[in-house]
């Protein structure tokens, strides 16, 4: 086992991807390389770099030093052989699906995946003659039966956005292997600090890096990690179709990732405390958080999320959407915004955040009530967040 596999996640967050390549003029931080192209002094070396025979960059749509450092850091955090990045989380999702699916193929997934992913499943893949089977997230038997019918991809998201449901990666990956299916897992909510899908049987793990990896809501990006052959195919699709991560965003993501473990540990802790508090609040009807023993997926989460249960929770307040319209604007320490995973607490209903692209009927079909609140814990003092929630909820009495 190499030293890289033995070091801790905080060390990887700080040093990962930054030691393999000499930095410009002995800088201690990865520089932002804005150059579109990279020059060579002779044709032979240039040609070898273009073919990947020697290390080097030729054009930033294909590869870039700053972007490569980000990819290498993600690779190390997910204990993967390789990684490739994208201009956004949705670019990572769509490019991954389109790389490995063709006309006549079949994909099995869950109903309450992220809204943008759901749109791909329901609107974009069927016209390409790709059969999509969306199962109840909590129904392992239905998922297993659909896998057994044959498929090329099993796509999982766990915990889900915004209902924070849990799917059993290990069990369902084993079923997918029986039919030769590729397993892709969206690990955005869990992060590499809490969960490692590749060790549970997944082939590709992906992230919307705009969320927890960056952590500061100032950079868009996406990334996938897996074995070299799979990532090579996805990278080829991406470099030709052009969903390239910008060097400046890669730099911002790298800077944010230095504190990844510290942030996630704090957010794990705060989310658990807040979830337990809200369970006892008279104006809250239901709290969804996998760390709670009452959560249907708690036992699975306890096994496959050894680092913690994440900083995301959702809850339903009495009075549904009308109550949310009163309650949310009263919060002092939370942005009402379509984002999550950053150092500030962020809140919102699915109709304006995760599933804004979907109709009310489509959200209902996915098991997402209109009166749900998605709550992304920041790193504020948890006592202040609880007091803030209490004072805002008091306006519903």
Catalytic residue among 72, 168, 186, 203: 186
Cα 1 from chain centroid (whole Å): 28
Verify whether residue 168 is a known catalytic residue: no
Give the H or E element holding residue 376.
strand 372-376
Which is higher by pLDDT, 62 or 358? 62
Q: CA–CA separation, 396 vs 319, rounded Å?
A: 8
pLDDT classification of 92: cutoffs 50, 70, 90: very high
pLDDT classification of 26: cutoffs 50, 70, 90: confident
pTM for this model (two decimals): 0.94
Q: What pLDDT does residue 344 have?
A: 98
Q: CA–CA separation, 280 vs 118, rounded Å?
A: 33
Q: What pLDDT does residue 101 have?
A: 98
Q: CA–CA separation, 317 vs 333, rounded Å?
A: 18
Of 101-105, 161-165, 167-171, 278-282, give the lowest mean pLDDT range. Answer: 161-165
pLDDT at 360 over 80: no
Q: What pLDDT does residue 159 have?
A: 97
Catalytic residue among 61, 177, 233, 255: 61
pLDDT at 2 over 90: no
Q: What is the mean pLDDT of the chain?
A: 93
Q: What pLDDT does residue 169 have?
A: 98
Q: What is the DSSP secondary-structure string of 48-104?
A: HHHTTSSS--SBTTT--HHHHHHHHHHHHHTT-SEEEEESSHHHHHHHHHHHH--TT
Q: What pLDDT does residue 4 have?
A: 44
pLDDT at 1 over 50: no
Verify whether residue 218 is a known catalytic residue: no
Radius of gyration of the chain (CA): 21
Q: What pLDDT does residue 6 have?
A: 78
Residue 101's CB is within 10 A of a number of other CB atoms, namely: 20
For the chain, what percent of residues have pLDDT higher than 70? 94
Give the pair of three-digit tokens for residue 295: 């959560």
Catalytic residue among 68, 73, 106, 211: 211
Which is higher by pLDDT, 394 or 321? 394
Q: What pLDDT does residue 357 have?
A: 61
196-215, pLDDT tens digit by residue? 999 999 999 999 999 999 99
Which is higher by pLDDT, 256 or 359? 256
Cα 242 from chain centroid (whole Å): 21
Which is higher by pLDDT, 291 or 20? 291
Verify whether residue 388 is a known catalytic residue: no
pLDDT classification of 369: cutoffs 50, 70, 90: confident
Provide the β-strand partners of residue 207: 223
pLDDT at 264 over 80: yes
Of 77-81, 120-124, 365-369, 389-393, give the lowest mean pLDDT range. Answer: 365-369
Of 6-15, 164-173, 248-257, 286-295, give the lowest mean pLDDT range. Answer: 6-15
Q: How many residues does the chain have?
A: 397
Mean pLDDT of 159-177: 96
Catalytic residue among 73, 114, 251, 375: 114
Mean pLDDT of 96-122: 95
Peptide bond into 159 cis (omega under 30): yes
Verify whether residue 106 is a known catalytic residue: no
Q: What pLDDT does residue 176 have?
A: 98
Q: What pLDDT does residue 207 have?
A: 98
Of 18-22, 233-237, 351-355, 385-389, give the lowest mean pLDDT range. Answer: 351-355
In the sheet that holds 182-186, the strands lie side by side as: 82-86, 222-226, 204-208, 182-186, 153-157, 106-110, 131-135
Give the pair of three-digit tokens for residue 343: 């150092």
């Amino acid at each position: 086992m190499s030293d890289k596999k033995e070091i801790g996640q905080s060390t990887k967050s700080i040093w990962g991807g930054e030691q393999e390549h000499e930095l410009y003029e002995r800088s201690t931080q990865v520089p932002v390389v804005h150059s579109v192209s990279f020059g060579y002094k002779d044709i032979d070396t240039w040609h070898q770099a273009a073919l990947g025979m020697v290390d080097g960059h030729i054009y930033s749509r294909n590869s870039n030093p700053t972007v490569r450092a980000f990819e290498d850091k993600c690779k190390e955090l997910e204990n993967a052989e390789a990684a490739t990045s994208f201009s956004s989380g949705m670019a990572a999702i769509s490019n991954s699906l389109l790389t490995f699916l063709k006309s006549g193929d079949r994909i099995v997934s869950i109903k309450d995946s992220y809204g943008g992913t759901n749109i791909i499943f329901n609107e974009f893949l069927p016209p390409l003659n790709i059969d999509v089977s969306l199962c109840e997230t909590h129904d392992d038997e239905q998922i297993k039966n659909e896998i057994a019918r044959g498929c090329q991809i099993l796509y999982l998201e766990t915990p889900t956005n915004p209902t924070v449901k849990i799917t059993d990666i290990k069990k369902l990956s084993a079923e997918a292997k029986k039919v030769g299916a590729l397993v892709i897992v969206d690990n955005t909510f869990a992060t590499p600090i809490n969960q490692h899908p590749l060790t549970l049987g997944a082939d590709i793990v992906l992230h919307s890096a705009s969320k927890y990896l960056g952590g500061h809501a100032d950079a868009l990006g996406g990334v996938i990690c897996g074995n070299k052959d799979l990532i090579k195919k996805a990278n080829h699709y991406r470099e030709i179709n052009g969903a390239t991560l910008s060097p400046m965003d890669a730099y911002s993501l790298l800077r944010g990732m230095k504190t990844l473990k510290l942030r996630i540990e704090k957010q794990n802790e705060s989310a658990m405390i807040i979830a337990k508090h809200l369970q006892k609040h008279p104006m809250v009807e239901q709290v969804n958080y996998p760390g709670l023993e009452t959560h249907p997926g708690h036992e699975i989460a306890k096994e496959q999320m050894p680092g913690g249960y994440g900083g995301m929770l959702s809850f339903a307040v009495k009075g549904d959407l009308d109550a949310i319209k009163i309650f949310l604007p009263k919060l002092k320490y939370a942005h009402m915004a379509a984002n999550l995973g950053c150092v500030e607490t962020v809140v919102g209903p699915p109709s304006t955040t995760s599933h804004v692209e979907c109709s009310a009927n489509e959200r209902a079909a996915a098991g997402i009530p209109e009166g749900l609140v998605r709550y992304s814990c920041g790193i504020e003092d948890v006592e202040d967040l609880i007091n803030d929630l209490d004072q805002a909820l008091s306006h519903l009495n």
